Amino acid sequence: MKSQAGFSLVETMIALALGLVISGAVIQVLVSASVTSKLNDAVAQVQSAGRFLSNRLTSELNEIGRYDLIVSNIDASVDLIAEAAFLQNKPIVIPGDYVSNITLGSTQGSNGSNDVLVINLLANQDCTGSNHGYDSEFHVVNQYFISNDTLMCTGYDGRVLRGLKQQTVAPVTITLLDNLISFQMQYGVSDRATNTVGQAVTYVTADQVAALRAENKQVVALRWGFVIQSYQNEVQLDAAPSIALLNEGALSLTSDHYYQAFSKTLSLRNMKNFVRSTQ
């Protein structure tokens, strides 16, 4: 019988070593593909959410201070001339504007915390979709704020806040978008002494609006910025990113999420009716 011989010990060890090298390379490729896939998913997720919120804010905030007595179908149960003057001169609500809720207003967050935006406008529903019992347009007040990394909005009847009517529909709060870790606002203010067409000459924070309003300098533009964090916490970045919004310092972020900042500047509708009354 012919003798049979298998692999030698050296040949076996070489084969095992080559197998380990190839297996390691395959595993590395699979891990890299998984990391890239998770990062791509996080990027797509954040960008989609950012586009949604930017479009939503643009459509709602573009109407700030609008009060058109000519073409609008307005509920006429109050003095419309006085209401128009109120909205056009106070497009941005600040604390003290409403005697029934003196704390309601736009505020500047301290030490980099989130800002609060409160606006006046003429519309047929508030940011939550409530019409507060009206069949036509009325004075709407929307409040935008962050709670537990979630952008919320509460809608009010401005006529109730002004004490002109009894509340029949309670304000409602809804979620606009979650995983928002920063929400910052700036207000473009005109210079009434040299500018009568409503062009912004400087951008300020909410705590400066009251003093400028007293000088008849009106808010005619809005600039916002926000940072969205990915829902997944398995994203592994090389280093924690550094993001600063508007006038704020850099945020303290981690390397296990993907983050992206979004910002926009918007001219307000009240520019066309620039301070026609100081009532």
Residue 244 lies in a domain: yes
pLDDT digits (tens, 9 = 90+) for 217-252: 888 899 999 999 988 666 767 777 888 888 888 888
Strand partners, 123: 138
Looking at residue 62, its amino acid is N
pLDDT digits (tens, 9 = 90+) for 34-72: 566 666 777 888 899 999 999 999 988 988 888 888 888
For range 22-32, the mean pLDDT: 65
DSSP 107: B
Q: Would you call 227 helix, strand, or coil by DSSP?
A: strand
pLDDT digits (tens, 9 = 90+) for 152-183: 999 999 999 999 999 999 999 999 999 999 99
* Residue 33 confidence (pLDDT) above 60: no
Residue 16 lies in a domain: no
Q: What is the pLDDT of residue 69?
A: 85
Residue 269 lies in a domain: yes
pLDDT digits (tens, 9 = 90+) for 182-213: 999 999 988 765 545 567 888 999 999 999 88
Looking at residue 61, its amino acid is L
DSSP 100: T
Q: 63-89: buried (b, 16+ CB within 10 Å) or exposed (e) per residue?
A: bbbbbeeeeeebbeebebeebbbbbbb
Q: What is the pLDDT of residue 271?
A: 53
Helix (H) or strand (E) holding 236: none
Q: What is the pLDDT of residue 213?
A: 87
DSSP 246: T
Total number of domains constituting the chain: 1
Q: Would you call 184 helix, strand, or coil by DSSP?
A: strand
Pairing state of beta strands 259-267 and 117-123? unpaired
Query: What is the residue range of 215's domain?
Result: 41-273
Strand partners, 224: 185, 264
pTM here is 0.83
What's the CA angle centered on 195, arms 188 and 67, to 5 degrees? 65
Residue 117 lies in a domain: yes
Structure-token pair, residue 167? 């509340």
* Residue 275 confidence (pLDDT) above 70: no
Residue 9 lies in a domain: no
Residue 33 lies in a domain: no
pLDDT band (50, 70, 90) for residue 279: very low
Residue 217 lies in a domain: yes
- HSE-CB at 241 with a 13 A cutoff on CA atoms is 14
Residue 63 lies in a domain: yes
